[in-house]
Amino acid sequence: MSESDMAIIKPEAMKSYIWLQCADGSIQQVEEEVAMFCPMICREILQTAMGSSKNYAISLPQRVNPAILSLVLDYCRFHQVPGRSNKERKSFDEKFIRIDTKRLCELTSAADSLQLKPLVDLTSRALARMIEGKTPEEIRETFHLPDDLTEEEKLEPLKNANDDLRIRLLNRLYAKKRKELKERQKQKDVEVEAQRKDERSVDEILSFINGDGDSRTAKAAKNKKKNRRRKEQPKYSSRTESDKLPKKEVSTVCVVRNEAGIGYSPSPSRISEMQDSAEDAFAPKVDFEDVDIDDGLDPAMKEELDREVEDFARRLNSDWPERMQEILSLSQESRAVPDFMNGNVSLRRYTGLDGR
Amino acid sequence: MPAGGGWAAMFPDEVWEHVFSFLAADGDRNAVSLVCRGWYHIERRSRRRIFVGNCYAIAPTVAVRRFPNVRVVSIKGKPHFADFNLVPSDWGGHADAWVAAMAEGWPLLEELHLKRMVVTDECLELLARSFKNFRVLALSFCEGVSTAGLAAIAANCRNLRELDLQETVVEENCVHWLSHFPESSTSLVNLSIASLEEDVNIAVLEHLVSRCTNLKTLKLNYAVPLDRLVNLLCRAPQLANLGTGRFTAEYRPELFSKLESAFASCKSMKSLSGICEAVPEYLPAIYPICDGLTSLNLCDAPVNGASLTKLVSRCKNLQRLWVMDVIEDDGLAAVASSCKLLQELRVFPCDPYGADPVSLTEHGLVTVSTGCPMLQSVLYFCRQMTNDALFAVARSSPNLTCFRLCIIDPHTPDYVTLEPLDAGFSAIVESCKDLRRLSVSGLLTNNVFRSIGASADCLEMLSIAFAGDSDAGLHYILSGCKSLRKLEIRDCPFGDKALLANAAKLETMRSLWMSSCFVSLGACRLLAQKMPLLNVEVMDEKKRGGSWDSQPDDCLVEKLYVYRTVAGQRSDTPPCVWTV
């Protein structure tokens, strides 16, 4: 039989079918009640009377490919049956979305273009669950997204919002320098000695801090002070906590509050006592340049970094317009320039900065 | 416009926006904003709520510009230790700049939550004028407003649902501010004015309560007497959260029975507070609602332990209990056997400086910990503690998320063994893997900080006072505690070395407070120089005369507050505060 014969015979069949055409030209037919479950298709049928034959198939949006269309129709086929319980539907849904990420995204996209809200919600929630608890790196991997934010923009989220040019540039320079230094450091750390060296420097700090003979005298001095303080009011003098007293004792509350407030601010005489004992405790006078300050970076490199930061800060503190030129020419050396110029903040904003 | 490349190009921004709307945690939204440029923009345009933990961490105009569609904002100002009068009263935390920026950039703002900030009447007036959809104003622990400002809010915010002044100090100069709610105003769901000290016009209040049929939360102030409470309850039997005014009167049987039946008609009551100065004779009037209560705050009711015990024993479904130490160990034993669903316990000292001994000891804490398997949050003031008690708590309540123990006298050792309480607190942090907040007290050496630094992986906030032996203690904390966000320290022998050695850590935290420690001005200068993204504020209320610049490096800093910020130095520091 020819296809046109089929078309004539069709109305006598028990079921009626709707013809759907994907963007790639392929055509599918599906039971009418299943297709009607989808609002977009339903509207097409009712308004334009399309879909009743192969030649007049309803054109589906571009984001619906044949494979995904089958999935969508499976969903519709299940849910359009009125008798199902909520439990059944939920169970179906849970199994339905257990597909790979790529197909889940395609499905979400298709559901959205077909305006099939329940499926959009189902798939969106599933995608949200895949995002929850992940780091930005992990999310990028999961969804194959580009890593197109600059180093500087990747500083914690609220930091991105700082449009103050000075601080942005300082951030970028700082971040760049840190990255370079860390990379140089990483190469050094391959050797075991380097690792041990780091640990040792921490131990050195600790033993330096704890001291030897100094600690005992320091403790004695501190203990004397502590005993005196014990006689005074307790530390918690909050308005909230002390205000729990009955209101009729208003006067005592005020007194208590004042006492507590003054309680632990040392009197002037005590300040000098404190200073004396502080000096005892740290008798080898701390010379900041000599202390091995350990934040994971080699001191020599840190000095370089510090010098750069100081230099930069100094430049920024002087006249703005000339510095702008200098900074722009400076940043042309780094890869950050294209991002800076074409970044998510238009150049117009920067020139308008003096108005802010 | 499709976002980014790859799969993300598959569907329009609105769809990703819909996906993001199912992300509840701010952390997830933050992660999303760092994935790629496209998502950064989708996320920022669709962000509806933001939380600013430190009002000086970002400039208001910048926040408003980055998130143009915010509807709900929470901002915190002063450091937590301001509650203990340790922060200079003029330190800052002004809401003006924020309200001005929000009025400009967020005309559709619906909710404003401020904590420990200085708010002015001008702010409130600007607020009332600028946001036509404004629904919720919550000021907790704030100051600077007067009832004139409240009148402006009442008069102009047509759809106001919540006005919550928890612990906010209000200057009372406009007695009839409540009358400024127009007759047509029926939208209130929450009216919490417990912190007001003066009288309110109770007739006006009654009328307001009558016409706001959706009112769920009503917290009255001391000025509302018991007999007027009866009237109010009769007009609002749908209340779920009630804060009574003063709960004291001469005993009159007919008042008692009216009160009792008024409570009985409140079938939805879930939470009760206030009960100021309660007299034992009237407490039984509360019994009708006890069974349904999930939250009970008896901090203003210094009634004898026996009466409290009788009340609390009837509250089988209690999840949160705030009470004074007059409840004593016996009362807590009753809590442990009756309130099996208890999640949060706070015990405050009734008379912290006083001579009257109260029989609340470590036993009370242990009994509740053992008896209440769902216990998650503890704040406990007491005068004595043992390591054994802390071991018991660690064993019985491994799910603690918040443990704040405040032994009233500093340097108090285990009273049985006379040893420091290091072992006890170490057991707590080792056992309670989800611990997020910890306050330590008693006699403590550096050992406890070694344990905390090593074990407290989820700890976000740590409060230390009168503890430790030396800088190593601070070093253990700052070099460990992976999740630490807020650290507040007073009167500890911690100084420069530990601070400078861990300068980088400070950038990963919200803030650090150190007062009466051994930090020198020189160290602060160095820290500020090395870490441009930190504001290093030093404070001295005695103002030694002359500018800070001329002070020598070795002079000790009385109060230090370090916080990370992208807004640079703030411009509103008072004379006693200097940003180094």
Encode pLDDT of A209-257 as tens digits: 554 433 333 333 333 333 332 333 334 434 333 333 333 333 333 322 3
Q: Are B336 and B367 in contact (CB under 8 A)?
A: yes
Contacts of A165 in chain B (CB under 8 A): none
pLDDT of residue A47: 87
Q: What is the pLDDT of residues A209-222, one digit of tens each?
A: 554 433 333 333 33
Compute the distance between CA of residue B505 and CA of residue A206 in angstroms, rounded to an integer.
17
> At B550, is the secondary structure helix, strand, or coil?
helix
**Which of B491, B495, B532 lies closest to A264 in CB terms?**
B491
The DSSP output letter for A248 is G
Lowest-pLDDT range, A96-110, A146-160, B48-62, B85-99?
Answer: A146-160
| pLDDT tens profile A39-58 | 888 888 888 888 888 888 88
Chain A nearest-CA distance from B183, in A, is 34
What DSSP string describes A1-18? --HHHHHHHGGGSSS-EE
Task: Categorise residue B283: left if φ over 0, alpha if ψ from -120 to 50, beta otherwise.
Answer: alpha
Q: Is there a contact between A112 and B12 if contact means CB atoms under 8 Å apart?
A: yes
Determine, for residues B36 and A153 on separate chains, whether the beta-carbon distance falls below 8 Å. no
Question: What pLDDT is recorded for position A296?
Answer: 45
Select the more confidently predicted residue: B565 or A311.
B565
Q: Distance (Å) from the C-alpha of residue B13 to the closest C-alpha of chain A?
A: 11
- Report the pLDDT averaged over residues A139-155: 79
What order of strands is seen across the sheet that includes strand A58-59? A27-31, A17-21, A58-59
Inter-chain residue contact A291 with B58, CB threshold 8 Å: no
Query: By CA distance, what is B34's nearest residue in A?
Result: A136
Answer yes or no: are the C-beta atoms of B485 and B478 closer than 8 Å. no
Residue B527 near residue B502 (C-beta atoms within 8 A): no
Residues of A in contact with B535 (CB under 8 A): none
CB contact under 8 A, B85 and A239: yes
The candidate with the shortest Cα–Cα distance to B415, out of B395, B392, B389, B397, is B389
* Structural contact between residues B449 and B423, judged by C-beta atoms closer than 8 angstroms: no
- Do B408 and A234 count as a contact with CB atoms less than 8 A apart? yes
**What pLDDT is attached to residue B174?**
81
Which of B85, B350, B410 comes nearest A237 by C-beta?
A: B85
The partner residues of B91 in beta bridges, in order of sequence, read: none
Half-sphere exposure of B353 (CA within 13 A, CB side): 21
Contact A157 B10 (CB under 8 A): no
Please count the helices (runs of H) and the strands (runs of E) in chain A.
Answer: 19, 3
pLDDT at residue B541, rounded to an integer: 78
Q: What is the mean pLDDT of chain A?
A: 61
Domain ranges of chain A: 17-143, 149-194
DSSP states along B490-527: ES-S-BHHHHHHTHHHHTTSSEEEEESSB-BHHHHHHH
Residue of chain A minimizing CA distance to B81:
A238
Give the global pTM. Answer: 0.75
Q: Are A163 and B62 an interchain contact pair (Cβ–Cβ within 8 Å)?
A: yes
Nearest CB partner across the interface for B22, out of A125, A206, A296: A125
Calculate mean pLDDT across residues A274-298.
38
Strands B320-324 and B111-115, by their bridges, are: unpaired
Q: Name the band, by pLDDT with cuts 50, 70 and 90, for residue A153.
A: low
Query: Shortest CA distance to A308 belongs to which of B530, B85, B219?
Result: B530
How far B245 CA lies from chain A's nearest CA (Å)?
Answer: 12
ipTM above 0.85, yes or no: no
Closest CB to B501: pick one of A146, A218, A294.
A294
**Packed helices A136-143 and A117-131: angle between N→C axes, nearest 10 degrees:** 130
Q: Could you tell me if B69 and B47 are in contact, meaning their C-beta atoms sit under 8 angstroms apart?
A: yes
A332's CB contacts (< 8 A; 6+ apart) are: none
Residues of chain A positioned with their CB less than 8 A from the CB of B225: none
Asked if residue B198 lies in contact with residue B175, where contact means CB atoms within 8 angstroms, the answer is yes
Dihedral angle computed from the Cα positions of residues B128, B132, B136 and B139, in that order, rounded to the nearest 10 degrees: -30
C-beta atoms of A145 and B503 within 8 A: no
User: From the CA of A210, how many Å to the nearest CA of chain B?
Assistant: 7
Inter-chain touch B10–A105, beta carbons under 8 Å: yes
Question: Residue B277: closest CA among chain A residues belongs to which residue?
Answer: A246
Query: How do strand B241-243 and strand B217-219 relate by DSSP bridges?
Result: parallel
User: Stretch A170-193: mean pLDDT, rounded?
Assistant: 59
Chunk chain B into consecutive blocks of 10 residues (it has 580) and report each block's average pLDDT, rounded to whole numbers.
Answer: 54 89 91 90 93 94 93 96 92 95 95 97 95 96 94 94 95 88 94 92 94 96 92 95 92 94 95 92 94 95 90 96 94 96 95 78 96 96 95 96 95 95 96 96 96 95 95 95 95 94 93 94 93 92 68 89 92 88
Phi and psi (nearest 5°) for B468? 85, 165
Q: Are strands B577-579 and B534-539 parallel, antiparallel or unpaired?
A: antiparallel
Confidence (pLDDT) at B229: 94
Contacts of B18 in chain A (CB under 8 A): 120-121, 124
Q: What's the pLDDT at A152?
A: 61
Q: How many interchain CB pairs under 8 A, A with B?
A: 260
Which residue would you say has higher pLDDT here, B127 or A160? B127
Give the angle A73-A79-A83 at the CA atoms, nearest 5°: 145
Chain A residue at shortest CA distance from B479: A295
Q: From the CA of A230, how many Å to the nearest CA of chain B?
A: 6
Would the CB atoms of B84 and A174 count as touching at under 8 Å? no
Q: Indicate the DSSP class of residue B183.
A: T
Q: For residue A296, what is the DSSP state? A: S
The whole-angstrom separation of Cα B304 and Cα B301 is 9
Please tell me the distance in Å from A140's CA to the nearest CA on chain B.
6
Give the HSE-up count for residue B508: Cα atoms under 13 Å, Cβ half-sphere: 12
Q: B59 and B570 in contact (C-beta within 8 Å)?
A: no
Residues of A in contact with B472 (CB under 8 A): 206, 209-210
- Per-residue confidence at A184, pLDDT binned at 50, 70, 90? low
Domain A17-143, architecture per CATH: 2-Layer Sandwich (3.30)
CA A271 – CA A259 distance, rounded (Å): 19
Residue B156 to chain A, least CA–CA distance (Å)? 31
Rounded alpha-carbon distances, angstroms, from residue A43 to A17, A40, A68, A269, B15 = 16, 5, 21, 87, 22
Please give the structure tokens belonging to residue A287.
């010379």
pLDDT band at A338 (very low <50, low <70, confident <90, very high): very low
> B50 to chain A: nearest residue by CA?
A158
